[in-house]
C-alpha cells in the first residue's frame, strides 16, 4: 500500500484538521486521540510521511520513540496510572486504522478495561483538559 497524503494524521500535520496538541518538535507531534480508549490516550506521530514501522527512516523512528517516552512520562504524572501501555500497530490485520505511523500512549488501571478502539468521539472540552494536564507535566 502506498502512503496516502490525505490520511487524517497528514491532514493534522498540515493544519487542515484541528487537534488537541500536547507537544511537538521539529520531528514529531503528540496530540489527544479523539476516540480515546482511556482517559489520557495520547498519540505520537512522526512528521515524516510513513505508513508504518517498516517505512519510517531509522532517524525519524528514533525521534518518535524519544517523544513517545517523554509523553508517556508526562501522562504517568498527569493521570497517576499504575501502568502505561505503548501500542504501535502495523497493517490492517494488526488493527491499524490510520496508515501514518503512530504510537498510542495509554494509561492503564487494574480492573478497568479499555474502551473500543475508534469507538466513540470524546467531548472536546474533556480532551482539551487532558491535553492541558499532560502539557503541565512535561
CATH classification at residue 18: 3.30.428.10
Cα–Cα distance measured from residue 101 to residue 112, given in angstroms and rounded to the nearest whole number? 27
**Does 79 map to a domain?**
yes
Domain presence at residue 95: yes
pLDDT at residue 4 in the model: 96
Compute CA distances 120 → 21, 31, 109, 123, whole Å.
Answer: 19, 17, 20, 10
Flag whether 3 is in a domain. no
Give the bridge partners for 45, in sequence order.
29
Q: Is residue 2 included in any domain, yes or no?
A: no
pLDDT of residue 119: 79
pLDDT along the chain (138 residues), means of 10: 93 98 98 97 98 97 98 98 98 96 98 87 97 98
Assess if residue 32 is contained within a domain: yes
pLDDT of residue 117: 81
Task: Output the pLDDT for position 75.
Answer: 98
**Looking at the domain assignment, is residue 55 inside a domain?**
yes
The pLDDT of residue 65: 98
Residue from 20, 41, 100, 102 carrying the catalytic annotation: 102
**Measured between alpha carbons, how far is residue 89 from residues 93, 123, 125, 130 in Å?**
9, 25, 28, 24
Whether 1 is in a domain gets the answer: no
Question: What's the predicted TM-score (pTM) here?
Answer: 0.96
How far apart, in whole angstroms, are the C-alpha atoms of residue 103 and residue 133? 19
Q: Is 102 a catalytic residue?
A: yes
The pLDDT score that the predictor gives to residue 106 is: 98
Domain that holds residue 21: 8-137
pLDDT at 102 (0 to 100):
98
Q: Indicate whether 19 belongs to any domain.
A: yes
User: What domain count does the chain have?
Assistant: 1
Amino acid at each position: 500500500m502506498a502512503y496516502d497524503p490525505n490520511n487524517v494524521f497528514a491532514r493534522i500535520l498540515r493544519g487542515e484538521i484541528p487537534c488537541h496538541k500536547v507537544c511537538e518538535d521539529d520531528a514529531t507531534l503528540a496530540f489527544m486521540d479523539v476516540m480515546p480508549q482511556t482517559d489520557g490516550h495520547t498519540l505520537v506521530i512522526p512528521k515524516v510521511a510513513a505508513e508504518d514501522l517498516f517505512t519510517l527512516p531509522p532517524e525519524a523512528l528514533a525521534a518518535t520513540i524519544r517523544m513517545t517516552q517523554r509523553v508517556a512520562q508526562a501522562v504517568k504524572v498527569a493521570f497517576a496510572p499504575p501502568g502505561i501501555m505503548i501500542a504501535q500497530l502495523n497493517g490492517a490485520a494488526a488493527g491499524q486504522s490510520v496508515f501514518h505511523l503512530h504510537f498510542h500512549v495509554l494509561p492503564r488501571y487494574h480492573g478497568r478495561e479499555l474502551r473500543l478502539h475508534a469507538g466513540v468521539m470524546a467531548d472536546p472540552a474533556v480532551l482539551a483538559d487532558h491535553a492541558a494536564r499532560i502539557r503541565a507535566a512535561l
